[in-house]
Amino acid sequence: MKNILIVRTDRLGDLLMTLPMIRCIKQNYPQSKITLLSNISNKGLLEDCSDIDDLEYISEKDRKTFSAKVKIFKMLKAYKFDVAVISNPDKFFHFITWFSGIPLRVGYNKKSGFYLNKKTKDISSKGDRHQIDCNLDLAYLFCDRKWDGNIQFTSEHVHSNSSDLKNTHNKKTKVAVHLTTSNPIKEWPIQQFHEVCNSLKNKGYEIVLIGEKRDNKINSVFNESDGFIDLIGKTSLSQLCAVLKGADCLISLDSGPYHIAWMQKTPVVGIFIKDALGSNPIRWGVYPGYAKCKQFYDKADNITVEHIVDAVEEVIA
């Protein structure tokens, strides 16, 4: 097998969960060229990953047009792929990989799974297995050698003249804090995050706020006078990777940055809201034994400021 295509075109966290699968495939076929097709929003994340030889990007908006679909078809034909692995079930990609003549098409048997000729049942929604193991099921359909247990994740150093980024290089113990998720029902009260940050600051920790953008909820509670390093909306993905790699701990909800941190072996404190659809540390938490962690899985009202502060000191110790 000379050319292998991996398709994962959804969110950041979902993409990260495919890295062990990609590594497993590369270990089984070390001479192959692996191309990852991903969402444009993930650009800048995996350019340094040695298990991936080439990267292609699309946006959800672009793929809805006929011209964009033709462009994808031409790209698939040009690469002359031997194998396509579609790790997020998708009717369009099941069809287009078949229509473009890729000989081996691997994926889950759903959403027009009849276009695939190597497939397995998707039981990930049960939530009783880690998503990494669910993705590895696809690799094992055509790979004999098992995953070696490592995640290849090389991030760039922070290259920026920003004084905010330079402030993260001091010698204080740094606790990064990610306040929000793309799904509001998975969130923990902003006011309690603020209390956690103040408590840790009073104990001598440097607080580094991270995230995609500030919103009214954050602005109503957090302000410049708090004395925290505010990197919200100020980092690229590669810079975020470097910031999290250099942190001594991350406090986060179930989110992409949470996975970036623990996959680089940064200790994490995770907040998973019970009864929020898809929020489950068994499936979406730290892969067992991979990094130091303390993960809470309960209703938001039952997770206290004291729980989080104590957990930070536990995982940093």
Q: List the CATH number of the domain containing 202.
A: 3.40.50.2000
Angle between helices 305-316 and 190-202 (to 10 degrees): 50
Helix (H, G, I), strand (E, B) or coil at 84: strand
Residues 104 and 37 in one domain: yes
pLDDT digits (tens, 9 = 90+) for 83-117: 999 999 999 999 999 999 999 999 999 999 999 99
* Two structure tokens written together for 44: 């800048």
Residue 66 lies in a domain: yes
> Under 8 Å CB-to-CB from 36, ≥6 apart: which residues?
6, 8, 22, 46, 52, 54, 55, 56
- Asked whether 250 and 209 are in contact (CB, 8 A), the reply is no
SS3 content of the chain, % helix, strand, coil (to 5): 40, 20, 40
Residue 269 lies in a domain: yes
- Asked whether 224 and 236 are in contact (CB, 8 A), the reply is no
Residue holding tokens 């940093």? 316
What is the reported pLDDT for 154? 63
Helix (H, G, I), strand (E, B) or coil at 254: coil
Residues 97 and 220 in one domain: no
- Asked whether 119 and 38 are in contact (CB, 8 A), the reply is no
Question: Which long-range contacts (C-beta less than 8 Å, at least 24 apart) are formed by 214-219?
Answer: 215/180, 217/180, 217/190, 218/179, 218/180, 218/190
Residue type at 273 in one-letter notation = I
- Asked whether 116 and 85 are in contact (CB, 8 A), the reply is no
Residue 87 lies in a domain: yes
The total number of residues shown for the chain amounts to 317
- Asked whether 239 and 162 are in contact (CB, 8 A), the reply is no
Residues 128 and 173 in one domain: no
Residue holding tokens 């997770």? 303
What is the reported pLDDT for 162? 44
Residues 9 and 115 in one domain: yes
Neighbours of 126 (CB within 10 A): 11
Task: Walk along the chain (317 residues) in steps of 10 and give the mean pLDDT of each run.
Answer: 95 96 98 97 92 94 85 95 97 97 98 97 94 98 97 58 54 94 92 98 97 94 96 93 94 96 97 90 97 97 98 97
Percentage of the chain exceeding pLDDT 70: 95
Residues 71 and 211 in one domain: no
Q: Which domain holds residue 178?
A: 163-316
What is the reported pLDDT for 164? 53
Structural domain total, the chain = 2
Residues 75 and 113 in one domain: yes
Residues 125 and 172 in one domain: no
Residues 233 and 302 in one domain: yes
